[in-house]
Amino acid sequence: MSYFTDLALCCIDGEWRPGSGSWDIIDFNPYNGEKLASITVATADEVDLAYRAAERAQRPWAGTNPYARRRVLERAIRVIEDSEQEITEAIIAELGGTRTKAAFELELAKEFLRESIQLALRASGRIAPSPVDGKENRVYREPVGVVGVVSPFNFPFLLSLKSVAPALALGNAVVLKPHQNTPVCGGTLVAKIFEDAGLPAGLLNVVVTDIAEIGDALIEHPVPKVISFTGSDKVGRHVATVAAGQFKRAVLELGGNSALLVLDDADLDYAVDAAVFSRFIHQGQVCMAANRIVVDRSVAEAFTEKFVAKVASLRTGDPADPATHIGPLINAAQAENVSAVVEQLVAAGATALLRGGVEGNVVSPSVLTGIPEDAAALREEIFGPVALLIPVDGEDEAVRVANDTPYGLSGAVHCADVERGVRVARRIESGMVHVNDGTVADEPIVPFGGEKRSGLGRLNGEEMVEAFTTTKWISVQHGRSVFPF
């Protein structure tokens, strides 16, 4: 099938249908500008239809044997495996992702589905003791009901599945809104996979739309009890505010400004490899990307020489070419923004060790050092192929620099002494830090999430049970209670 022809629709209550809005979202290939699809936007009325369908379908699904729910997820993996080449080509075309990136995303998506299969059996309750004679306290784990999922453009297939699959496994229904730049890979393709896997109609609904059309309808609607949002901290703050006003739970995976620390005893060749991957994977459009490379001054000269040489060797261009390391940014606005950041830093006194040009949406990598301490870019997320090298004197200053940001998602520490690395990692104010590895990492069974403006809550493993279920206390009094009046 042609994904961009056949899936250029919304999926509501098992029906593939266009939205009823008065305008279209145009899905472009960010590398060559080719029009992939035109999708009429869903309105607030379609959002309501999707949530009502999910509400109707959820109760019987929650009552379904979890082993039966698990079998749907098992079939979904087989559907993906049977279509890997087609999905790879779709990721390359819609995201501008390289073949390496597409393979990375697909493999992780399958791993998260495998973990979701196990989650179907993990929502177990417990019996709690009581100080009252004859009382039995039962604590049940129940699905929250309906979950609203909003996914981003950078890893849309993975990050949609990452919330959708666990929510379904645990007995919930879902309404998914993909990013308008990736409506197929982040939305309708996911719905088609679960449809082919035998998921009953209404349990996964996809609305392709934009806040310009629906406003806050997706968050304010009375049906969803949890909103799982991945995106910028600016939008995440708004989602949290609206959700709190409606007494909804919000799980927020937001931006980052990760630091990769290279201490004085690090293996420099290895640290360079980790830093280049961490900064330039998917053109730097990754929330965990190492925006800042913080290097002990005693090894800074040697590290910088090796780092710049490796970055200069990266090939930019057509993401469909297997030799390409860096493809296009998602759109022209993002390319212009990244270029403007480099210009501003250089104008403020930073030294460009490597300065990339712009061709269409392809931005070649830049490496800057000597950044003024008051530069905003040191504390903000740069969603593009720009690396900031920051020399420091010792690990205390390295930690101070790493923490000098309102974000706290990921990080890395490179050093010969692993336990020293762990001690330093524990001082970094972020939800995840990796010793002698890259900053970009995600595994299905370990908690994923950030501190400060990088989000609220955690995903993965048992955290998914916390995110997408609720507890219910039911007490049973055996015999008669004695009341004071």
Give me the active site residues, please. Answer: 253, 287
Give the dihedral of Cα atoms 181, 187, 188, 191; nearest 10 deg: 170
| Geometric angle at alpha carbon 411, from 405 and 413, rounded to 5° | 120
| Geometric angle at alpha carbon 99, from 193 and 95, rounded to 5° | 65
Q: What are phi and psi of 390, to 5 degrees?
A: -125, 105
Q: Are 208 and 181 in contact (CB under 8 A)?
A: no
Q: How far apart are CA 40 and CA 20, in angstroms?
A: 7
Q: How far apart are CA 434 and CA 3, in angstroms?
A: 37
Count of beta carbons in the 10 Å neighbourhood of residue 483: 5
Count of beta carbons in the 10 Å neighbourhood of residue 380: 16
What's the chain look like in SS3? CCHHHHCCCEEECCEEECCCCCCEEEEECCCCCCEEEEEECCCHHHHHHHHHHHHHHHHHHHCCCHHHHHHHHHHHHHHHHHCHHHHHHHHHHHHCCCHHHHHHHHHHHHHHHHHHHHHCCCCCCEEECCCCCCEEEEEEEEECCEEEEECCCCCHHHHHHHHHHHHHHCCCEEEEECCCCCCHHHHHHHHHHHHHCCCCCCCEEECCCCHHHHCCHHHHCCCCCEEEEECCHHHHHHHHHHHHHCCCEEEEECCCCEEEEECCCCCHHHHHHHHHHHHHHHHHCCCCCEEEEEEEHHHHHHHHHHHHHHHHCCCECCCCCCCCCECCCCCHHHHHHHHHHHHHHHHCCCEEEECCCEECCEECCEEEECCCCCCHHHCCCCCCCEEEEEEECHHHHHHHHHHCCCEECCEEEECCCHHHHHHHHHHCCCCCCEECCCCCCCCCCCCECCEECCEECCECCHHHHHHHEEEEEEEEECCCCCCCC
What is the residue whose two structure tokens read 């290939």?
Answer: 29
